[in-house]
């Protein structure tokens, strides 16, 4: 059945979004035919999950629906892991420096996780966690 999963995410300014995500440690598959002036495949994790950033107007035409207003609600929470607590803290610093908004400062969660949460330049919400079982 399914061999791959990729997530399509609208952004207002593709160039600025690429700069933001690169600054906080993500990479892009620049040799992909999907890397154009209106979309860019961001690679997440060791399994290479693709979050395809789409210029908002192209995304809207593709999904034939309005783009969610992230100022009024959360459409999804992207969660990803960290190697350790130090990586969580370092990434939080990078997010702030790159222009993101931290809405949950780095802290212990439920006694076995340590993480923080932020909104990217378009208000999409992300959560980084180090899990120590």
Query: pLDDT tens digits, residue range 34-65?
Result: 889 999 999 999 888 999 999 999 999 999 98
Question: How is residue 73 annotated by DSSP?
Answer: -
Higher pLDDT, 133 or 98: 98
Q: Can you list the domains of the chain with their CATH numbers?
A: 6-63 (3.10.180.10), 77-131 (3.10.180.10)
Half-sphere exposure of 27 (CA within 13 A, CB side): 8
Cα radius of gyration rounded to whole Å, the chain: 15
Q: How many CB atoms lie within 10 A of CB 133?
A: 4
Taking only the tens place, the pLDDT of each residue in 90-113 is: 999 999 999 999 999 999 999 899
Q: What is the pLDDT of residue 1?
A: 74
126: closest CA among 83, 86, 97, 92? Answer: 92
Q: What is the pLDDT of residue 81?
A: 95
Taking only the tens place, the pLDDT of each residue in 68-92 is: 999 999 999 999 999 999 999 999 9
User: 72 is written with which tokens?
Assistant: 């009024």
The structure's pTM equals 0.92
Predicted confidence (pLDDT) at residue 133 exceeds the cutoff of 80: no
Residue 85 CA to residue 47 CA, distance in Å, equals: 22
């Amino acid at each position: 059945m399914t061999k791959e999963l990729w997530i399509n995410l609208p952004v207002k300014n593709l160039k600025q979004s690429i700069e933001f995500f690169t600054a906080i440690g993500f990479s892009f598959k620049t040799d992909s035919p999907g890397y154009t002036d209106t979309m860019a495949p961001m690679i997440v994790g060791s399994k290479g999950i693709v979050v395809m950033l789409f210029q908002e107007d192209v995304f809207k035409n593709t999904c034939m629906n309005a783009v969610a207003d992230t100022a009024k609600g959360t459409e999804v929470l992207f969660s990803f892991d960290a190697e350790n607590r130090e990586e969580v803290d370092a990434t939080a610093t990078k997010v702030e420096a790159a222009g993101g908004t931290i809405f949950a400062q780095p802290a212990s969660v439920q006694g076995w996780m340590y993480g923080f949460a932020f909104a990217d330049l378009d208000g999409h919400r992300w959560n980084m966690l180090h899990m120590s079982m």
